Chains A and B, each alone.
Chain A
Amino acid sequence: MKKIGVFICHCGVNIKDTVDVEYLTEKLADYKGVEHIENYMFMCSDPGQNLVKEAIQENKLDGVVIAACSPTLHESTFQNAIEEIGINKYQLEIANIREQCSWVHTSREEATRKAELIIKTAIEKLRLNQSLEPVTAPLTKRVLVIGGGIAGIQAALDIADGGYEVVLVEKKPSIGGHMIQLSETFPTLDCSQCILTPKMVQVGKHKNIKLYVNSQVAAVDGFAGNFTVTINRKAQYVDPDKCTLCGDCTDSCPVVTPCEYDEGLAWRRAIYVPFPQAIPATFTIDTENCLGFEPIACGECKKACEPGAINYDAKPQTFEEKIGAIIVATGYDLYPVENMAEYGYGKYPDVLNGLQFERILSATGPTGGEMLRPSDGKVPKEIVFVQCSGSRDPERHLSHCSRICCMYTLKHAKLYKHKVPDGQPYIFYIDIRSGGKRYDEFIQQAVSEDGVVYIRGKVAKIYQEGDKMIVHGMDTLTGKKMEICADMVVLAQGIVPSEGVHELVKTLKLGVDDVGFLIEAHPKLRPLESLQSGFYIAGAAQGPKDIPDTVSQASGAAAKILALFSHDEIYHEPIIAIVDEDKCSGCGICIGTCPYGARVLENGVAMVNDILCEGCGACISACPSGAAQQKNLTDQQINSMIKVILG
């Protein structure tokens, strides 16, 4: 029979005033299994803890019940205390007689009676508690980062600098994400490429970073700390080690196709480098538009290539990497303008989205940084910016706020005005969300100094008349309808998760919300991890956010992984499910109840994957034979607690 010690805390007067601790000490001394019982003013204090330790040693106690405040406060305090003297920390139970007793009841008699029952249930549970050790598994100290935008780049650098190997997988031919397309970033108006490219170069050179471009994650097997990741890489027709970026190949290519980097506003060849600062610094062949090499329809690029970097016989390759933790940093895309029926379904060349406008602003863009409109190259004198295009519109489009549009729209208007001093920018808005550091000052300055006109109202319709775009909107502050004959319109399209994320999360078995953003373990306190053990999330893949927040999140995720890697093993709470194989009939009902895939059938018997099991207990209550139990919360324990409550 387990020798149990019971310690009742007065908590100053918090418990003592309502619950008769002396009476309880006397009454429970005779309770079955109670070897030692005492009460004290502040059990959580040093002297209080010492009382517990001494009593354990003197009476050779096997376990203790502390009747005090809620376990959320001091369960770990007492667990650490008893561990110090060699008692397993799971031989401890907290009886919550403060938050759920002395603080909520008025009658001393009733509160004391209830406290007695609470303590008895704790004793009953403790009686059958087993000593448990945390579940451990070996830990592969290598990280997979999915996505090579600023979030993936930052996380990769932080982990690599921390001394661990990073595998960075990017589906495009170069890392850089959307940030490399930007002209300047708010509110400092830093040149985006200038601040990003050094990081990109670092990633390319870092001895701890293994970079796969033109690659996608095909499968993830295993579990947290022990993943095996399969990566598919497209055929590498141009050898990055041999390519000198001379450009002779692209000059000889006959195919012309819209350029993704310039958001369709410019052209490139089928053999191309996405942008001058691409990492890896190599040309690449776009097989969808290339005339083909089975058979070789053209072959000009290979002829032109002096270093002999081009090989038409290259094949797609599959790689396997052993990984301990995965960061998903797949970023965002813009809600397509083609969905905006009221704004022309994307058919008007002078109605652009924000990224297209960035390319026009950019010195490396299709207009060399000059403010010219796509249709006829004229300088737009009247330009309309439409905020919340597709966002905050649950009836037709996206219901969420895309967070960054208010700031970048103003940035656009400001930069436009710098380039066209006699131009007039109008911004249609619903609200202005400028909550970041120095964001609001940025807005106020543009309004007062740059003559940006803000109109509060939605734009109902945009259509073309002659060479003007007619914008029908509403000024809700004056109540008047507005009609602006603009030369160009820029739509702040909503932020949506990156294309392909739905397929990816099926492979990774991660949760996404109704829009497709990754779900975090807890929106307030655990925003960097997924509920799935071993997965971390960073950047716009989790929700629309600006660059400072993305970088913070990426570094935060990296820090969490570095903390994980400071151990040699991966630990897991042991309050998990177990199966008595003798009682298990292999019915398989438990398999489907597990949200974590921790239950499998092996040789006709249900098994539990210790690392994956989170201890919810759903499978246990589903088990018809009682073969499944939860460690330290067995059916027997629950029933004995019920029995003692009902006396």
Chain B
Amino acid sequence: MNLPYYPGCTLKANARHFEDSAQKALAKLDCELEEMKDWVCCGTVFSMTTDDLMLQLASIRNLLRAENQGLKEIIVLCSMCYNTLKRSQDFITRDQENLDKVNKFMYMENLKYSGSIEIYHLLTILKDRITYDKIKEKVKTPLKKLKVGAFYGCLLVRPEEFAIDDFESPTIIENLLDVLGAESIDFPYKLECCGAYQTLTKQEVSIKRSYEILKSAHNSGCEAIITSCPLCAYNLDFLQKRIEEDFVEFVKLPVFYFTELMALALGEKWSGEWSKLHHVDPEQLLRDKHLI
């Protein structure tokens, strides 16, 4: 199955193990992520006001180019890109005037955007199109009941219209983890914000938020948590050494992208290149669990 794919910037840089593990995992499922051409950064922020169009442009430009390449849909891995693209798409489809205004800025493109692109997160595709049954079939090395907390963060479930599952109590990631042979742990902070971009301006906020999330995960019995967002991964993974400094009793937890564990369960070998991009060492836990 061919999946037209929008990577977003970070998946080519700090989160390239997210893309790599996704490609490898999907290969085991007879699927391929086919990257669209000429994509640009999505902008990563959504304009809250209807007269501030600047923040929509990058997003729409991507969708326009996808349309011009003959694509009907794009699959996204990064939660932030997913949220931004989806909201921009909604912005121009709910009011023709918005679409017209945005199109006026697209003079450098060949054609105007007609608003036809559907945007999906890989998790939705795994559930609805590839199906868990197929995934279960292809699982070669189940994850031996590794206790994993599914961290959704905010962008996969807010706002309500764009949530990939029930926004108060989603289970889409847990269901996937269970199929992969892990033991999914529902922990109370799984929908809380990690602090996002505050990490640049007021890092103490992100430190505190990430601490609460990781503490909650640990207290609920998680041995690791997974995420789908490079920004969450940064806050939750990279900041752990800062959290350690501020909070004495803090216990570190490895942070995985869900595709890394998926690749592992489907029989792919763990790559040392992936470990290099982690901050909290993931390999010790995987070794302890005899997963590598």
Contact = CB atoms under 8 A, between A and B. Distances in A.
Query: Do A and B share a direct contact in the complex (Cβ within 8 angstroms)?
Result: yes
A463 interface: yes
Contacts of B168: 341-342
Interface in B92-140: none
13 contacts: A341-B166, A341-B168, A341-B169, A342-B168, A345-B169, A461-B188, A463-B188, A464-B188, A465-B188, A465-B216, A465-B219, A466-B219, A470-B188
B205 to A, nearest CB: 13
For the residues of A in contact with B, the DSSP-based class is strand
Contacts of A461: 188
Contacts of A466: 219
A341 B169 CA distance: 7
Interface string B157-187: 0000000001011000000000000000000
A517 B207 CA distance: 50
Nearest to A343: B168
A461 to B, nearest CB: 7
Interface of A: 341-342, 345, 461, 463-466, 470
Given A341-B166, A341-B169, A470-B188, 10 more contacts: A341-B168, A342-B168, A345-B169, A461-B188, A463-B188, A464-B188, A465-B188, A465-B216, A465-B219, A466-B219
A347 to B, nearest CB: 10
Contacts of B169: 341, 345
A336 to B, nearest CB: 15
Which of A342, A461, A464, A466 gathers most chain B CB within 10 Å? A461
Q: Which 7 A-B pairs have the closest CB atoms?
A: A341-B168, A463-B188, A341-B169, A342-B168, A465-B219, A345-B169, A465-B188
A173 to B, nearest CB: 36
Contacts of A465: 188, 216, 219
B165 to A, nearest CB: 12
Interface in B197-221: 216, 219
B47 to A, nearest CB: 23
A338 to B, nearest CB: 12
A465 B221 CA distance: 11
B235 to A, nearest CB: 19
For the residues of B in contact with A, the DSSP-based class is loop
Contacts of B166: 341
B18 to A, nearest CB: 29
Range class of the B interface residue count:
under 10
A201 B230 CA distance: 70
B8 to A, nearest CB: 30
B69 to A, nearest CB: 40
Nearest to B215: A465
A76 B129 CA distance: 75
A342 B168 CA distance: 6
A420 to B, nearest CB: 27
Nearest to A483: B212
Nearest to B220: A465
A463 B220 CA distance: 11
A335 to B, nearest CB: 16
A464 B168 CA distance: 15
A345 B166 CA distance: 13
Which of B166, B168, B216 gathers most chain A CB within 10 Å? B168
A461 B216 CA distance: 14
A464 B166 CA distance: 20
A341 B165 CA distance: 14
Nearest to B192: A461
Nearest to B189: A463
B57 to A, nearest CB: 31
A153 B168 CA distance: 42
B211 to A, nearest CB: 14
A466 B218 CA distance: 12
Nearest to A463: B188
A331 B166 CA distance: 33
A482 to B, nearest CB: 15
A470 B215 CA distance: 14
A463 B169 CA distance: 12
A465 B215 CA distance: 11
Contacts of B219: 465-466
A341 B166 CA distance: 10
Nearest to A347: B169
B70 to A, nearest CB: 41
A470 B212 CA distance: 13
A312 B148 CA distance: 54
Contacts of A342: 168
Which of A345, A463, A464 gathers most chain B CB within 10 Å? A463
Nearest to A340: B168
Contacts of A470: 188
Nearest to B167: A341
B220 to A, nearest CB: 8
A213 to B, nearest CB: 39
Nearest to A341: B168
A340 to B, nearest CB: 9
A255 to B, nearest CB: 33
Contacts of B188: 461, 463-465, 470
A345 B168 CA distance: 10
Nearest to B169: A341
Nearest to B168: A341
A470 B219 CA distance: 13
Which of B169, B188, B219 gathers most chain A CB within 10 Å? B188
A341 B168 CA distance: 6
B66 to A, nearest CB: 34
Contacts of B216: 465
Contacts of A345: 169
A447 to B, nearest CB: 31
A466 B215 CA distance: 13
A342 B167 CA distance: 10
B41 to A, nearest CB: 33
Contacts of A464: 188
A341 B219 CA distance: 22
Nearest to A466: B219
Nearest to A396: B168
Contacts of A341: 166, 168-169
A599 B216 CA distance: 67
A350 to B, nearest CB: 15
A77 B92 CA distance: 67
A41 to B, nearest CB: 67
A345 B170 CA distance: 13
A461 B168 CA distance: 10
A461 B188 CA distance: 9
B228 to A, nearest CB: 22
Nearest to A461: B188
B74 to A, nearest CB: 31
A627 to B, nearest CB: 51
A466 B188 CA distance: 12
A171 to B, nearest CB: 33
B222 to A, nearest CB: 13
